[in-house]
Amino acid sequence: MRTSTTYDLADNIVRECHAQFDKLPKNGKPANRNNGQAEWTILAGIVMATPVKDHHATTLSGTKNNEQSFQTEALWEIECISLATGSKCLPQGKQSPRGDLLNDCHAEVLARRGFNKWCLHEMQKSVQECNNLKKNFNYLGAPSHDVQQENSPLFELTNAGTQFHLYVSQAPCGDATTASLALTQSEESRNAFMAGQQRRPKSVAQEPTAPGDQDLSTSPVTGSKHARESEALVEPTETSAPSTKLQKCGSTSTTATAKSHTTNKSGVQKDQQLVCSDQVLGFRRGRIDYDSVGVLRTKPGRVDSEPTLSMSCSDKITRWNILGLNSALVMPFLKKPIYLESVVTKELFDAEALERALFRRIQGCRRRTDHTASPRTDEASTTSTTIHPREISVHKSEIAFEFGKEAVSKQSEQEGITSPPVACASTSEPQLTEVLINGCKAGASVKKQIQPKSRSRLCKINMFESSVTLWKSISPQPPLVQSMMSKTDAGSASEPGPTSITYHEWKRLNTDFTKAKQLLFAGVFQNWVRGDASLESFNIHGGTISDHSNQR
């Protein structure tokens, strides 16, 4: 924890994250391999900035030409509450139906999961009413029986001026960096990318399904029902440049194609094609058609790797800017969503690309009018007809991460560099640090069912347990929660009750959040790749309940 003026806030956010990284165990950090190759990774952290009493709070502002403008000087107390490294995710065939593996171990995603773990822990502290504990959330008390509503708020941030910032050592994968990677890659990398199109076996070439499609195990994917009815995406060959041909982008309305010309620092002009209809963002697998900007993309970027169900970090952060940083397990407790205030990064920084990827690409996409929370005002609305993502500021820091790709590349030009399979996650409260590999704690056997002691505390089933524990400490509970709680108590770990509530059902406790998410996936994010609900049909004991009738 440190203090910072507003003027130095962006750089101090970076310093705070780097200081926390230095405390991580050595076995969770990149190292030099026996063949001489040096490992690099991506570091991400969520930093809480609380205005110091008697100082006027203001936010970082201005991203034009990477110039920061400030209205007033303020003093902040900043703390990295969740930190993570990592750049891997599990392929479709290795995901667990029991919620005991982390599917996406990219640093930004792990940091956000750690943030939600922190929220549940801090709210639990607030309920305990320990006067000697610093409280980041106020417990508003359970509503009386005569005024109980399903979505009655239970907690709010203690300091209304508290902000949350995301630091990422390299700009998020997906739309924010696809063009930058294309411009900076070597000829060797480019040829390898093209050759990868020919190397991929047919079983790997199948894509994960989009919403509303058939079972994942039998259905190949191209992004959406509409996209399947249109032409298949054109994949570049060894001798051809990446295809610039625009395909139908999964919308019944006319697709608008805008070609923009921007110039990078080297003075090289790049043509970018914005693929977005008036309702639905287009879809691409990895870096295919990487001159098409504004589209949803899956991980990983390599064409010769096995497909995953994970969307890019650019897409996920965009979603957080609409629904909030909070997960579906945390949102039922809160008075209003918590949003990111800014994103700070260094490598592959492009202010225009970041702003487009994180909020501008969906500013003009309409949605149906409905009773839901307005992401901009945090207030209920029945008249809004447009999705308004929260406009966050983006900032470049000149402080290098010692294990970042750029820094490691300069030191290991001849030996080459590689990214390790290991990820690391750390939260300030509860104090936990985990070294992860293949979605669970390092050292766990991947050939057997994961034991509870080998699960990450950030995995779905453990977050499920934390949410239930918090609800149990609150009395009285809303009727819907009472009904679900009775189901979570049914059965046992060895013989789960047939009516036990599933994780998939538990996530739908907050009807406003669920409705906003459904509208998002029915509209602008229609091409968002969503897995079968069977991957979330497990109960709190880890037993699976077969139910393939719903999509997440």
pLDDT digits (tens, 9 = 90+) for 476-499: 887 778 877 776 665 544 444 434
User: 395, 63 in Cβ contact below 8 A?
Assistant: yes
The percentage of the chain sitting over the pLDDT mark of 70, rounded to a whole number, equals: 67
Cα–Cα distance for residue pair 47/39, rounded to 1 Å: 26
Examine the pLDDT at 549 and tell me if it is beyond 60.
no
pLDDT over 50 (residue 436) = yes
Q: What is the pLDDT of residue 193?
A: 56
**Does a cis peptide bond (omega within 30 degrees of 0) precede residue 30?**
no
The whole-number pLDDT of residue 434 equals: 94
End-to-end CA distance of the chain: 38
Identify whether 307 is preceded by a cis peptide bond (ω within 30 of 0): no
CA distance 92 to 49: 37
Distance CA 97, CA 311 (A): 19
* Distant-in-sequence, close-in-space partners of 447: CB < 8 Å, separation ≥ 6: none
Whether 380 and 373 have beta carbons less than 8 Å apart is answered as: yes
Q: Sorting pLDDT into bands at 50, 70 and 90, what band is 61?
A: low
CB 415 within 8 A of CB 427: no
529: three-class secondary structure by DSSP: coil
pLDDT value for 286: 85
80 confidence band (pLDDT: 50, 70, 90): very high
pLDDT higher than 70, residue 423: yes
Element (H, E) at 346: strand 342-347
H-helix or E-strand spanning residue 283: strand 283-284
Q: Is the pLDDT of residue 240 over 50?
A: no
Token pair of 228, please? 């399947």
8-state DSSP, 551: B
Helix H or strand E segment including 256: strand 255-263
User: In the structure, what pLDDT confidence band is assigned to residue 415 with cuts at 50, 70 and 90?
Assistant: confident
State mean pLDDT over 107-120. 98
Tell me: pLDDT of 305 over 50.
yes
pLDDT for 288: 82
Q: Is residue 215 very low, low, confident or very high in pLDDT (cuts 50, 70, 90)? A: very low
Q: How far apart are CA 56 and CA 196, in angstroms?
A: 54
Q: What is the mean pLDDT of residues 184-197?
A: 59
SS3 letters across 47-94: EEEEECCCCCCCCCECCHHHCCECCCCCEEEEEEEEEEECEEECCHHH
- Among the residue ranges 239-243, 319-323, 500-504, the one predicted with the least confidence is 239-243
The pLDDT confidence band at residue 362, using thresholds 50, 70 and 90, is confident
Tokens of 388: 């308004």
Q: Give percent of the chain with pLDDT exceeding 90.
A: 43
pLDDT digits (tens, 9 = 90+) for 254-279: 333 344 444 444 333 344 454 544 56
Mean pLDDT of the chain, nearest integer: 76
pLDDT of the residue at 49: 97
**pLDDT value, residue 111:** 98
Range of lowest pLDDT (377-391, 434-448, 530-544): 377-391
Q: What is the DSSP letter of 470?
A: H
CA triplet 342, 362, 220: central angle to 5 degrees? 110
Q: Which residue has the higher pLDDT, 227 or 363?
A: 363
- The residues near 246 (Cβ < 8 Å, ≥ 6 apart) are 255, 257, 273, 275, 292
Q: Whole-model pTM?
A: 0.80
Our measurement of the distance from residue 356's CA atom to the centroid of its chain's CA atoms, rounded to an integer in Å, reads 17
Residue 408 has pLDDT above 60, yes or no: yes
Per-residue pLDDT of 4-56, as tens digits, reads 999 999 999 999 999 999 999 888 899 998 888 999 999 999 999 999 976 55
Are 339 and 164 a contacting pair, CB within 8 Å?
yes
